[in-house]
């Protein structure tokens, strides 16, 4: 089972989450502020963090950015906000998933299981060879990527997506396969893929309208190939 940090200032919601997760045999710690969460994550190794956005000392979105500065632990956002721009921003800032309140404990369990599967799958032994496509150089073992000799600052999910596509240069990969192999999900929202592709393109110095490496074939999938 997993070690979970619940970051939630509403005592009723917090108690319910702790009870449910404990009954599911998870090890649970909980805090009510962003600063407490940062201290906990800095000193304790968690498998997943459930992060509320409406914290009393700091907005959860800012807390997420600070968490990403010190750890790659998977973070599930728990929020009452359902604005698409907010959701896209949170995914860009490093959230692994999000849930809109109110949600059922069954829904939370399913999202946690999916995030943990993805996290554990990417923790498996990666291939040792360095992948080169055009000016891209990707080292799966060291989890480092360079473009034209310059290191790329990628999030965990961005690196996984880039490495997966680079390992199949010129091959159009269906979105369903990306969800299964990179996100370890049998289903999901295409928006998740689009957000990460957009962020990755920006770091590669390209856009969807003027692609260099990443090419989207509408209704088919995505491929990575060297610039022509």
pLDDT tens per residue, range 140-178: 878 899 999 999 998 888 898 999 999 999 999 998 888
Instruction: Give the range among 90-99, 163-172, 202-211 with minimum mean pLDDT.
Output: 90-99
pLDDT of residue 207: 93
**Is the separation of the CB atoms in 54 and 80 below 8 Å?**
yes
In this predicted model, what pLDDT tens digit does every residue of 114-129 receive, in sequence order?
A: 888 776 655 555 555 7
Distance (Å, rounded) from C-alpha 171 to C-alpha 66?
37
Give the pairing of strands 75-79 and 97-100.
parallel
Of 131, 133, 122, whose CA–CA distance to 157 is shortest?
A: 122
Minimum mean pLDDT range among 32-36, 76-80, 147-151: 76-80
Q: Is the dihedral of CA 24, 26, 29, 31 positive or negative?
A: negative
Report whether 79 contacts 50 (CB < 8 A).
no
Q: What is the DSSP letter of 143?
A: T
């Amino acid at each position: 089972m997993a070690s979970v940090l619940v970051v939630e200032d509403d005592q009723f919601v917090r108690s319910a989450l702790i009870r449910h997760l404990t009954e599911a045999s998870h090890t649970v710690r909980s805090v009510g502020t962003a600063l407490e969460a940062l201290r906990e994550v800095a000193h304790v190794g968690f498998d997943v963090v459930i992060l509320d956005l409406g914290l009393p000392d700091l907005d959860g979105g800012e807390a997420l950015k600070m968490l990403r500065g010190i750890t790659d632990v998977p973070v599930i956002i728990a929020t009452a906000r359902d604005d698409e721009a907010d959701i896209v921003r949170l995914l860009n800032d490093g959230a692994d998933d999000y849930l809109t309140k109110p949600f059922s404990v069954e829904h939370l369990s399913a999202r946690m299981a999916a995030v943990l599967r993805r996290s554990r799958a990417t923790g498996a032994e990666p291939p040792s060879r360095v992948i080169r496509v055009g000016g891209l150089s990707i080292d799966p073992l060291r989890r480092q990527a360079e473009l034209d000799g310059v290191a790329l600052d990628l999030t965990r999910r961005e690196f996984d997506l880039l490495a997966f596509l680079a390992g199949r240069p010129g091959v159009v990969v269906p979105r369903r396969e990306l969800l299964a192999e990179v996100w370890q999900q049998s289903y999901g929202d295409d928006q998740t893929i689009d957000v990460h592709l957009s962020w990755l393109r920006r770091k590669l110095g390209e856009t969807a309208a003027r692609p260099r490496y990443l090419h989207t074939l509408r209704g088919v999938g995505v491929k990575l190939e060297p610039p022509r």
